[in-house]
DNA sequence: TCTTCGATTGTCT
DNA sequence: GACAATCGAAGAA
């Protein structure tokens, strides 16, 4: 994807990332999946966003240019991957919550065994495990094909396949942020019929 | 299928 | 010192 794709309103980026292909390159081979669930985190005003208390060493990448990866560690054991949205100076990102595996199934199976196949990539920390995404990829450019992690055009998803709900795992966030319908999720059963 | 609960450590107050 | 943009096992139904 070109950089302009990411330099837009965070909610637009979150919606448009549904159906795109997330590609991880490991030792020259591709491990990838179609994105079908995302969440938008939009600026310092958004009290669910990591940038709510200003710039820190951890969230610095979010303040940079759109089209880069923001990878962080949480719950003492999990990595999460986001696409930075917007332009330099405006902290915003879109969390990738779930993907449908397409390439590199062998790699994914090896990472996720003995978990059942349907649960390989249906959660933000699950897909980072499946694609071997860690803090080493924090800040990488998602717009170039030779990057170890990047986004490609994938499928066009009809609006009718997508629903939006409040974001997950932000129970202690004050309103109105807790209830903002900034989570986008596509109907996986319909998506699967494309293959 | 649903609910509960322990795991485990970087980051910020 | 508290908490976190979660996961997966175990037990109940």
pLDDT of residue A161: 96
DSSP state of A141: B
**Domains recognised in chain A with CATH numbers:** 3-192 (3.10.300.10)
Coil, helix or strand at residue A144: coil
Chain segment A87-126, per-residue pLDDT in tens = 999 999 999 999 999 999 999 999 999 999 999 999 999 9
Q: Does strand C come within 7 Å of the CB of A123?
A: yes
Q: Does strand B come within 7 Å of the CB of A73?
A: yes
pLDDT, mean of residues A67-83: 97
CA trace torsion A97, A122, A37, A140 (10° rounding): 40
| Token couple for A78 | 């999990």
Q: Which of residues 44-63 of A touch strand C (CB under 7 A)?
A: 48-50, 62
Instruction: Report the b/e string of A98-137 with b at 16+ CB within 10 A.
Output: bbbbbebeebbeebbeeeeeeebbebbbbbbbbbbbeeeb
Chain segment A166-192, per-residue pLDDT in tens = 999 998 999 999 999 999 999 999 998
Strand partners of residue A74: A78
pLDDT of residue A180: 96
Q: Which nucleotides of C are covered by protein (CB under 7 A)?
A: 3-9
pLDDT of residue A194: 83
Query: Is the model's pLDDT at A195 over the cut of 80?
Result: no
Q: Measuring from the CA of residue A118 to each C1' atom, give the nucleotide at the shortest distance.
A: C8
Q: Which residue has the tokens 């939009």?
A: A42
């Amino acid at each position: 994807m070109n950089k302009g794709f990411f330099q837009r309103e965070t909610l637009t980026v979150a919606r448009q990332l549904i159906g795109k292909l997330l590609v991880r390159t490991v030792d020259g081979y591709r491990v990838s999946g179609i994105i079908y669930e995302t969440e938008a985190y939009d600026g310092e005003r958004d009290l669910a966003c990591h940038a709510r208390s200003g710039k820190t060493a951890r969230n610095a990448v979010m303040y940079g240019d759109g089209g880069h990866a923001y990878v962080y560690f949480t719950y003492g054991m999990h990595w999460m991957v986001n696409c930075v949205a917007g332009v330099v100076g405006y902290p915003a990102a879109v969390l990738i919550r779930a993907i449908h595996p397409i390439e590199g199934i062998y790699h994914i199976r090896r990472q996720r065994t003995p978990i059942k196949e349907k649960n390989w990539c249906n959660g933000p920390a699950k897909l980072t495990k499946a694609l071997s995404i860690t803090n080493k990829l924090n800040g990488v450019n998602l717009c170039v094909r030779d990057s170890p992690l990047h986004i490609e055009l994938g499928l066009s998803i009809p609006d009718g396949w997508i629903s939006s709900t409040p974001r997950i795992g932000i129970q202690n966030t004050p309103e109105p942020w807790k209830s903002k319908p900034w989570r986008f999720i596509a109907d996986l059963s319909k998506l699967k019929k494309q293959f």
